[in-house]
Structures are given as structure tokens and as C-alpha cells.
């Protein structure tokens, strides 16, 4: 990689990707972001990699709901790139249920606009679209979805990410664009928005507040996920860039499934504090919240990728960091 454009580069996953590339490559990085409620440029200024390599990063403000390729000044600011990582997206399920059209604009129209820009890049070697496990909908017990399993979106957010996927495949098939698609499960790590489950649990346990745990209708079975640290995701993306095939999809999966009650108890145990919790049937009261998501990660494993850091070490690292950086939890 010589020059990389990262959409959503001051978002949670985006800034981890910037950190990874600054630490492991000598590539020039261009961040394309609109600095909305999920974007925070202060994420970058705290990075050790940023302090030594800020001159390698350029920031371009743009709302991707507006065209890119027809704006000659914007195109000049972005310049030529050999790699585009399309991470920027609306990602909050609750907000997608309240306002689905805004997610269509962000995740479908926005994706089409970056694709239209990308297909005119004669230097382009890689385009990676970051999708989600949620495009496949809820996973019954014993079912882990493969990369090409059928979509069954359970909420507007998932549907718009599936729409973005299909646009990426269409641009690959129509314009022969180099294209790779990743599905990732629940990502966590440093500087995550405090509305997300893990930083929210850390904060509530520290304050002695009640933690609401998503459960089934009987309020006896907590929802489950395959949680994965953002640094592991960055490692997987690097692997896909080097080893992946154009026009293909790749599941990025944490090492094991864990239910949210067990996860909350683990966090409380690491903190050395009791867990005050309540099991709540979110799905009945708010359709679109699915009890279980699951992906099959065997494809990446068979290709030779391994998780750099396991779940327990990841949690310990994030909790320790959070205690030293309470402002990122809104404390």
C-alpha cells in the first residue's frame, strides 16, 4: 500500500485502522469523514502512532450522502489511491428503527457515492467494504452463517448494509473493480462510543447502576455474540488485503461465543465489583433486536489467519485502559 483512503477514519473502527496502518506500514493515509455524533478527531491525537506520523495523515471533510466524483476540488483533495477501506456508516440499530431513511442515505447512497469515485481511480488495487453479521438476521442455535448465506435482515440498519454489499458486488461485476467484502461481528476496544455494550457495562458497574441484559421472552436466556477486539479486526483486514480474492467475502469472527450476561459478569469480576443486572426482553418490546448472531469463521482460519489476542486478554486490556481514560465513557 502506498496511499489509502479510509472512510469514517475518525470513527471507532476507523481510527483503529488508521493506528494499525501507521504502526505497520509507511503508507500515506487520507481520512474521509463528516464528523457526526460517532466521529471524534480526538481519537487520533491520543494515538502513539499519530504523535510520530501525523504528517502521513490528511483529513478531508465530506458528507458521503453527496456525490464525490463530480466535485473536482474534493477529488483533488482526496487524490489518487491504491487502497480504499470503506468503513464509514450509520451503525446504531435503534436509530435505524426510528429513522430508516437516514440509514439508506448513509449506507446505500453513501456507498454508491464512494464506489462511483473509486471506479474512476486508475491506480486502485483494493477496495474493502465493511459489512456486518446482521445482514443474515438472527441465527438459530447451532447455525453459524457462511459468507454467502442468504440475507435476512432483521432491522433497517442490517438491510442498508446488505444493500451496500450488493452495490459493491455490482460494481465488481459491472466495472471490474477490485472488491473484497468483510462481515464482522460485535467489535469493541479503546475509545468506543459509550452507548455500546462493553463500555456501557464498564461504566454502569463502576457506578453501581443496573445493567439491562437483552434476553428471550422468558427472561431466562441472555442474547449472545462473538465479540472481537478492533485490533484483531485490523489484523484480519490486512490479511484479506494480502490474501483475499476480488469479488469474494470473508467472515471476521471472534474466537468464541459468549452470552451478554456472562460477558457482563466477566467485566464485573475484572473490575472487582458486583453486577447489578436485569434480564429484559428487548425483542418483544422493540422488534429488530435479535437474540443471537453467529458467523462461521472457518474460511479465514483455513487461509491461515489467527486471532492475535484472545477475548479475555482483550477485555482486560480495554477495562484497564477505560479506568485510566474515564472521559471516553462520559465520566
Q: Which has the closest alpha carbon to 302: 246, 247, 244, 259?
A: 244
The predicted-structure confidence for 87-109, as pLDDT tens digits, reads as follows 999 988 888 999 999 999 999 99
Angle between helices 197-207 and 311-324 (to 10 degrees): 60
- Spatial separation of the C-alpha atoms in residues 32 and 222, rounded to whole Å: 38
Q: Which has the closest alpha carbon to 167: 234, 79, 108, 245?
A: 108
pLDDT of residue 286: 56
Angle between helices 12-24 and 230-243 (to 10 degrees): 60
**Angle at 96 (CA atoms; ends 224, 238), nearest 5 degrees:** 60
pLDDT of residue 285: 53
Q: What is the mean pLDDT of the chain?
A: 94
- Spatial separation of the C-alpha atoms in residues 114 and 235, rounded to whole Å: 24
Q: 3-state DSSP call for residue 266?
A: helix
Residue with cell string 435476512: 152
Helix ranges, the chain (H):
12-24, 42-45, 48-53, 72-78, 93-98, 100-104, 110-118, 156-175, 197-207, 230-243, 260-271, 282-285, 298-303, 311-324
For residue 222, how many other CB atoms are within 10 A of its CB? 21
pLDDT tens track, the chain, 331 positions: 899 999 999 999 999 999 999 999 999 999 999 988 788 999 999 999 999 899 999 999 999 999 999 999 999 999 999 999 999 999 888 889 999 999 999 999 999 999 999 999 999 999 999 999 999 999 998 999 999 999 999 999 999 999 999 999 999 999 999 999 999 989 999 999 998 999 999 999 999 999 999 888 888 888 899 999 999 999 999 999 999 999 999 999 999 999 999 999 999 999 999 999 999 886 665 565 678 899 999 999 999 999 999 999 999 999 999 999 999 999 8
pLDDT of residue 97: 92
Domains of the chain: 3-187+226-252 (3.40.50.720), 193-225+257-291+310-329 (3.90.25.10)
**Start-to-end CA span in the chain (Å):** 39
Q: Which has the closest alpha carbon to 204: 156, 274, 147?
A: 274
Amino acid at each position: 500500500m502506498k496511499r489509502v483512503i479510509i472512510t469514517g477514519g475518525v470513527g471507532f473502527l476507523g481510527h483503529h485502522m488508521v493506528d494499525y496502518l501507521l504502526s505497520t506500514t509507511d503508507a500515506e493515509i487520507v481520512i474521509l469523514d463528516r464528523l457526526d455524533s460517532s466521529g471524534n478527531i480526538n481519537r487520533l491525537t491520543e494515538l502513539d502512532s499519530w504523535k510520530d506520523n501525523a504528517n502521513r495523515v490528511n483529513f478531508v471533510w465530506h458528507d458521503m450522502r453527496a456525490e464525490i466524483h463530480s466535485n473536482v476540488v474534493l477529488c483533488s483533495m482526496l487524490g489518487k489511491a491504491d487502497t480504499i477501506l470503506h468503513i464509514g456508516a450509520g451503525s446504531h440499530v435503534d436509530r435505524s428503527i426510528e429513522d430508516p431513511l437516514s440509514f439508506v442515505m448513509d449506507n446505500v447512497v453513501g456507498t454508491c457515492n464512494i464506489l462511483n469515485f473509486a471506479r474512476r481511480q486508475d491506480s486502485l488495487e483494493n477496495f474493502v467494504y465493511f459489512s456486518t453479521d446482521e445482514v443474515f438476521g438472527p441465527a438459530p442455535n447451532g447455525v453459524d452463517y457462511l459468507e454467502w448465506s442468504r440475507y435476512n435482515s432483521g432491522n433497517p440498519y442490517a438491510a442498508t448494509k446488505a444493500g451496500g454489499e450488493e452495490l459493491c458486488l455490482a460494481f465488481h461485476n459491472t466495472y471490474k473493480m477490485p472488491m473484497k467484502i468483510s462481515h464482522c461481528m460485535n467489535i469493541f476496544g479503546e475509545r468506543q462510543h459509550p452507548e455500546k455494550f462493553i463500555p456501557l457495562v464498564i461504566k454502569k458497574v463502576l457506578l453501581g447502576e443496573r445493567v439491562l441484559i437483552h434476553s428471550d421472552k422468558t427472561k431466562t436466556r441472555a442474547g449472545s455474540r462473538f465479540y472481537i477486539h478492533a485490533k484483531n479486526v485490523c489484523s484480519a483486514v490486512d490479511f484479506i488485503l494480502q490474501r483475499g480474492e476480488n469479488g469474494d467475502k470473508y467472515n471476521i469472527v471472534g474466537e468464541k461465543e459468549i452470552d451478554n450476561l456472562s460477558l457482563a459478569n466477566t467485566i464485573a469480576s475484572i473490575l472487582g465489583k458486583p453486577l447489578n443486572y436485569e434480564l429484559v426482553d428487548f425483542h418483544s418490546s422493540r422488534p429488530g433486536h435479535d437474540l443471537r448472531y453467529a458467523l462461521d469463521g472457518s474460511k479465514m482460519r483455513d487461509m491461515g489467519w489467527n486471532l492475535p489476542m484472545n477475548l479475555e486478554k482483550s477485555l482486560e486490556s480495554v477495562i484497564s485502559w477505560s479506568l485510566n481514560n474515564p472521559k471516553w465513557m462520559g465520566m
